Amino acid sequence: MARVAARLSANGEQSTHPVDEVLPLPKLALYGFQHVLAFYAGAVIVPIIVGSALKLSPEQLVYLINADLFTCGIASIIQAWGIGRIGARLPLIQGVTFTAVSPMIAIGLGAGGGTAALLVIYGAVITAGIATFAFAWLPPKAFRTVMRLFPPVVTGTVITVLGIVLIPVGLNDAAGGLGSPDFGDPKNFAYAGGTMLFILVLMKLGKPFLSSISILLGLVVGTAVAFVLGDAKFGDVGNAGWIGVTTPFHFGVPKFEWFPIVLMLIVMLITMVETTGDTYAVGDIVGKDVDSETVARALRADGAATALGGVLNSFPYVAFAENVGLVRMTKVKSRFVVVAAGVFMIVLGLLPKAAAIVAAVPHGVLGGAATVMFAMVALAGIQTLAKVDLKEEKNALIVGVSLAFALLPATVPVFFTKHMDPDLSSLLNSGVTLGATAAIVLNLIFNGMAKDDAHDAPRVELPAQPVAPPAGAEKAADEKAPADAKAADEKAPAGENAPAEEAPAEGASDEEAPADKAPAGKAAAAGKADDAGTPAS
């Protein structure tokens, strides 16, 4: 399936697809910074959770966070800008996957904790990244065969599961952040509710530009209000250093052990399903054709970023679903906005003071904005499921049962913590893992392997061009309806002239006319879009 980077306007001139549009620098900076704020909490929470579980010192924890931001920036630029056949060239932010948290903690604790545990984790991360990168270079026919495992009923379910699993993360932030002394304080919910209301009002009443930066403005205004009321603390900014350079293998040479590697390979299989779903979802949102080669390029970026993460003291990477929700909300489709966000992340990774300012956004404010975005992620999954015939009982069962499995870890956590082997629990204690696995297995049971083109990608607005049109046909198509009807009457063979009242209305395409009454030569031009720019089928 051909991928088209440009469209033709109604007058036949080439125009840039919104995904490939380079916006003015001020807009790039604003939209890019908004993406950073939207993903920041999700990005830094993984190194914080893993570092705390492994009993790292505060200095080591800060280093992990800066390394994560730095690598996120590089990974996002690779994914959005593209290097050769690496990177989807779509507005996809790369972030550390939540799916890897429990397995990495299990690997680290099994290695004794501390920096020694990080070396074992990084060995597994590097190996899994290289394996993912190599997998995405399978021959096209073999790769398309694998992609048949992920029809819309699977990818739509996975994205919906991601949104549903992430919504509680946003709500926990809205409550003040898990483990905080004021968790559940009504004041935190007031900040969250106020931020959410401000965003929704902007989306409803604001001009297009204001609506497109509603998340950013909500976070800024919410933080300003919290600062005035004494609930936003910037004391850590003064304590943070000015420069913090991330160096390869900062904690030592990685160690490669077979069980951690196997565990991380399984994690990457799940993240490949996530990235596949995110790629199709964002392609749907921005109106960009997505095929198996696009997915392969996205997975190559995942693999390269994950291997790079192991080298630069970070963790496995995946296309971040949170920012897919942001793209849907703001309708800003340019991939260069993500490139700008990547530059911001690199700067934050090199400037601990700048990262400390962003980190000072209160949990309640962040939770209000995050909950809106995570809900939009779930909606992106539902949009993909709209392509599925859910009147078919087997498809409805696949979606419903997969959602039920996804809710199991959050609903009955004791089953995983007390009644399951720790190694197995570290893999299965994840709603995304269970939901994605259930969707794939159930789809194979009920539907088997999908057809090659199971995903009906959005059509790119590129009118098909006529092959050797008869002289004057193009001119006739561009004239007003009465003139067009007259021209048709003159050109049609005797006995086939259509009555004047049956001539196509102004702006209608030629192919709408009955085939047996079409003027001579116009069959060759079937599919040609008219002045209204109707896409070719």
Give pLDDT tens digits for 52-62. Answer: 678 787 678 77
What is residue 516's predicted lDDT score, i.e. its pLDDT? Answer: 43
Quick check: pTM over 0.75?
A: no
What is residue 494's predicted lDDT score, i.e. its pLDDT? Answer: 43
Task: Read off the tokens for 169.
Answer: 């993360």
Q: 465: pLDDT confidence band, cut at 50, 70 and 90?
A: very low
Calpha distance 219→234 (Å, rounded)? 15
Burial class, 506, CB count within 10 angstroms (exposed 0-12 / middle 13-18 / buried 19+): middle
Between these two residues, 353 and 486, which has the higher pLDDT value? 353
Q: Where are the alpha helices (DSSP H) in 287-421?
A: 292-311, 321-330, 335-350, 352-359, 363-385, 393-411, 413-418
Between these two residues, 294 and 366, which has the higher pLDDT value? 294
What is residue 464's predicted lDDT score, i.e. its pLDDT? Answer: 39
What is the percentage of the chain residues whose pLDDT exceeds 70?
A: 77
455: left (phi over 0), alpha (psi -120 to 50) or beta: beta
Contacts of 413 (CB under 8 A, 6+ apart): 429
What is the CB neighbour count within 10 angstroms for residue 374?
A: 24
What is residue 401's predicted lDDT score, i.e. its pLDDT? Answer: 95
Calpha distance 147→504 (Å, rounded)? 42
Q: 111-115, 188-192, 281-285 — which is least confidently predicted? A: 111-115
Calpha distance 200→198 (Å, rounded)? 6
Backbone angles phi, psi at 380, to 5 degrees: -60, -35
Give pLDDT tens digits for 98-149. Answer: 777 767 877 887 778 888 889 999 999 999 999 999 999 988 888 888 878 8
Between these two residues, 385 and 6, which has the higher pLDDT value? 385
Q: 289: pLDDT confidence band, cut at 50, 70 and 90?
A: confident
Give pLDDT tens digits for 364-406. Answer: 888 888 788 778 778 878 888 988 888 889 999 999 999 999 9
Amino acid at the residue 164 = I
Give pLDDT tens digits for 150-162. Answer: 888 988 898 888 7
Task: Read off the tokens for 31.
Answer: 């939209």
Calpha distance 483→476 (Å, rounded)? 8
What is residue 537's predicted lDDT score, i.e. its pLDDT? Answer: 33
Is-contact 305 317, C-beta < 8 A?
yes
Asked if pLDDT for residue 234 goes beyond 70, the answer is yes
DSSP letters for 325-346: HHHHHH----HHHHHHHHHHHH
What is the CB neighbour count within 10 angstroms for residue 519?
A: 22
Is-contact 44 65, C-beta < 8 A?
yes
Q: 272: pLDDT confidence band, cut at 50, 70 and 90?
A: confident
- Looking up tokens 């702006």, which residue turns up? 507
Q: 2-11, 288-297, 343-352 — which is least confidently predicted? A: 2-11
What is residue 419's predicted lDDT score, i.e. its pLDDT? Answer: 84
Is-contact 306 316, C-beta < 8 A?
yes
What is residue 321's predicted lDDT score, i.e. its pLDDT? Answer: 73
Q: What is the distance of C-alpha 244 from the center of its chain? A: 29
